[in-house]
Structure 1
Amino acid sequence: MKGKRDMELPEDFWIPVSLDTNNITSLSPFLVPQDHLGDTATFYAMAVFMLFIFIFGTFINALTIACTIQYKKLRSHLNYILLNLAAANLLVSTVGSFTACCTFSFRYFIFGALACKIEGFMVTLGGMVSLWSLAVIAFERWLVICKPLGNFIFKPDHAIACCAFTWFFAVFASAPPLFGWSRYIPEGLQCSCGPDWYTTNNKYNNESYVMFLFCFCFAVPLTTIIFCYSQLLITLKMAAKAQAESASTQKAEREVTRMVVIMVLGFLVCWMPYASFALWVVNNRGQSFDLRFATIPSCFSKASAVYNPVIYVVFNKQFRTCMLAMMGMGGGEEESSTTQSVTEVSKVGPA
């Protein structure tokens, strides 16, 4: 039986019931179930949701990587970036979703304080790589189709360099809490860990770190995505107008427009709740909030391990065909008409 001293929460892990950081609970999230934060059904529902994300996210991202290794025709510059995205998603699903499934099942973070820091770092690392990979995909599409640099050719070496950048910047952005700038602590219902964005302990300068993440790890990628895809749509509309008699060009414009909308909405659904909620907390110190709602943004971000590959990989007919073939469910079809039509449209874009 744990004594009172064992039940005291270490200074490094404040669990505020409200935004009053002096209200430190003695119910350590590493030792006892956090039933005071939510009913049992909520914890178990979250465990089931995380189990789904773990199983499906791990499967589809691992299949993406396996297909790229097996089929040489998938090793294009764009698919290298999709492979990078799949690796980041796989890290989030295997570490973040699996850990959260276990901890929600027990209703507290059963793995301890050190594992909390490791899980928080690994999930943040994967999330940052995913964010920047989405921005790189948009940037690559802009370069290839809109041709702002004239005859510049985006080669596999350029894609590999962009992928290396995403990991370099992700480490740069996710490592500071391990060294004193902010910290990784249990968040929401205390069953998953992330950067500390809800305490005001000046020792860790949490506010400045949250602003850093918001500006450079959310606002910049989002701005890049919106700019690149808006330019892409403008280019395609101009091409469609110039080739009004071409049914394939008109179809390409409609399909690409739909895909761009889906991609941007997917990004916003994934990261807007987390970024906006953290920013609201930082700018509304003293306002109480329900920690159950703090869990929702974290779950949305982890769910990106599923809907990112659905948007970027499954909707890619070339990838989809190879996946079906690998599972013995299809043959070797050619690339989608969308890809061919977009290539056709890109030829009349600005030189």
Structure 2
Amino acid sequence: MPEGNITSVKNFVIVGFPGLQPKYYGLVSVVMFFVYVCTLLGNGLFLLLFASEKRLRKPMYYIIINLVACDVLFSTTTLPKIIARYWFNDGFISFTSCFIQMYFVHLFSLVNGFTLAIMAFDRYVAICNPLRYANIIKDSTIMILCMVSWLLAQPCVLMLVIRAYPLPYCAANTIVQCYCDHVAITKLACTDRTPYGFPAFVFAMVLLITPLTFILFSYSSIMIAVIQISTNQGRLKALSTCSSQLIIIALFFLPRCFNYMYPYVGISFNPDIQILIIMLYGLLPPMINPLIYCLRAKEVKEILFKSLERSCLSIKKKNVSTICN
């Protein structure tokens, strides 16, 4: 494009689902608001239980706290803007704010993947080296690993944003996505995207596959160790300690792998279906994960039920006291 025809973009417009009819905007905004509230309440409940119960001060729950932080921050970074787009017809986001959102979106996703790898490491040691678990998996070890996951993610994500920010962006400023991500933004650049898009794709696949490879290795080793357990009861007990983690890992990785790979296996979707898939794997796990923590983890479930019982007894006592007075 000749330089005289280039118009500098000062803001972007988040379109969301391009094929969605205006009569459904209210319904979509309500659904997304419900998802956001459930995410905050569910993860907030787990944080409250963790803060109030010393029994949960264990390595596995420190890992889950790191996961909770990623889930809440990711949802808070993405959902309010797309809710405003459909609720108030306000899809505008400034140029700089869009790249800041891009940075946080990819940062929290990357840290989430690293955290799931740490979770797999914890289960690997617990089942394959149970006698050394207390010596290897300590609170300090998990905290250091979680801190490293945040520090390691920073330069990776910064590289993506720094390479995308100075690209020439012309009159096209509509983002066919529910938030600012690298692919959606760089598509709007008035230049050949290949030198930026292909390295970014390779980079994303490496960052996705590296923790996934470690997770697959860990759980393959766990399955071999479980098969070697002599009793059925022992096998079931070992598997039960991994079931919730496997569900969380599957919710995070399987849809992402599908989204990256389907164009290369001859499958095609319209933009609305593709965006729906992205929104499901980005926003459904933060809402569902607290249910998995609370209902699949025995200690958390016991603490939750006891807390509910105490609350019910407290309410009954207050009601009796009120009646007597």
What TM-score bracket applies, with the shorter chain setting the length? 0.7 to 0.9
Report the residue type matching 2:148 in the other structure: F
Counterpart in the other structure of 2:272? 292
1:275 alignment partner in structure 2: 260
Q: Please give the alpha-carbon distance, in whole angstroms, between the structure 1 residues aligned to 2:166 and 2:274.
A: 17
Q: Does 1:225 align with 2:206?
A: no
Q: How many residues align?
A: 297
Hey, what does 1:209 align to over in structure 2? 200
How far residue 181 of structure 1 moved from its aligned partner, in angstroms, is 4.4
How far apart are residue 315 of structure 1 and its match?
1.5
Aligned to 1:59: 41
Does the aligned pair in 2 maintain the 1:177–1:195 contact within 8 Å?
Answer: yes
> Which of the residues 245, 249, 256 maps onto 2:234?
249
| Equivalent residue in structure 1 for 2:118, among 105, 120, 136 | 136
| 2:182 matches 1:195 | yes
Higher relative contact order (CA 8 A, sep 6+): 2
Confirm or deny that 1:307 pairs with 2:288: yes
- Check 1:306–1:36 CA distance in 2 against 1; reply closer, same or farther (3 A cut): closer
SS at match of 1:175: helix
Report what 2:128 is aligned to. Answer: 146
Match of 2:51 in 1: 69
The whole-number CA distance in structure 2 between the counterparts of 1:236 and 1:183 is 52
User: Partner amino acid for 2:285?
Assistant: S
- The TM-score normalised by the length of structure 1 is 0.71
Output one character per residue of 1:163-197: Cα deviation in whole Å (capped at 9) or x when no partner: 01221122223222331247899886444211126
> 1:21 matched to which residue of 2?
none
Code of the aligned partner of 1:296: L
SS of structure 2 residue aligned to 1:111: strand
1:316 corresponding residue in structure 2: 297
Secondary structure of the residue that 2:181 maps to in structure 1? strand
State the shift of 1:295 in Å: 1.4
Please tell me whether the aligned partners of residues 119 and 245 of structure 2 are also in contact (alpha carbons under 8 angstroms): no
Measured against aligned partners, the alpha-carbon deviations of 1:193-215 in whole angstroms (never above 9, x if no partner) come to 11126738447712211220111
Secondary structure, in 3 states, of the residue corresponding to 1:192?
coil
Q: Secondary structure at the match of 1:193?
A: coil
- The question of whether the paired residues in 2 share the 8 Å contact of 1:92 and 1:126 is answered with yes
Partner amino acid, structure 2, of 1:238: Q
- Which of 143-152 and 298-307 deviates more? 143-152
2:45 is the counterpart of 1:80? no
**CA shift in 2, pair 1:97/1:325, >3 Å:** farther
Structure 1: runs of 5 or more not aligned: 1-7, 14-27, 332-351
Q: Which amino acid aligns with 1:243?
A: T
Give, in angstroms, the shift of residue 158 of structure 1.
Answer: 0.7
1:107 & 1:37 partners in 2: Cα distance?
15
Supply the AA of the counterpart residue of 1:276: M
Structure 1: how far apart are the matches of 2:182 and 2:309? 43
Once the two structures are overlaid, the 10-residue window that deviates more, 82-91 or 300-309, is: 300-309
Task: Determine the C-alpha separation between the residues in 2 that align with 1:223 and 1:173.
Answer: 18
User: Structure 2 length normalisation: TM-score?
Assistant: 0.76
Higher helix share goes to which structure?
2
Please give the alpha-carbon distance, in whole angstroms, between the structure 2 residues aligned to 1:107 and 1:181.
27
Q: Is the 8 A contact 1:176 1:182 kept in 2?
A: no
Other structure's SS at 2:180 match: strand
Note closer, same or farther for the CA distance 1:317–1:270 as it changes in structure 2 (3 Å cut). Answer: farther
Matched to 2:13, the amino acid is: P
Q: CA deviation at 1:155?
A: 0.7
Corresponding position of 1:18: none
- Alignment RMSD (CA, Å): 3.7
What is the SS of the residue equivalent to 1:38?
Answer: coil
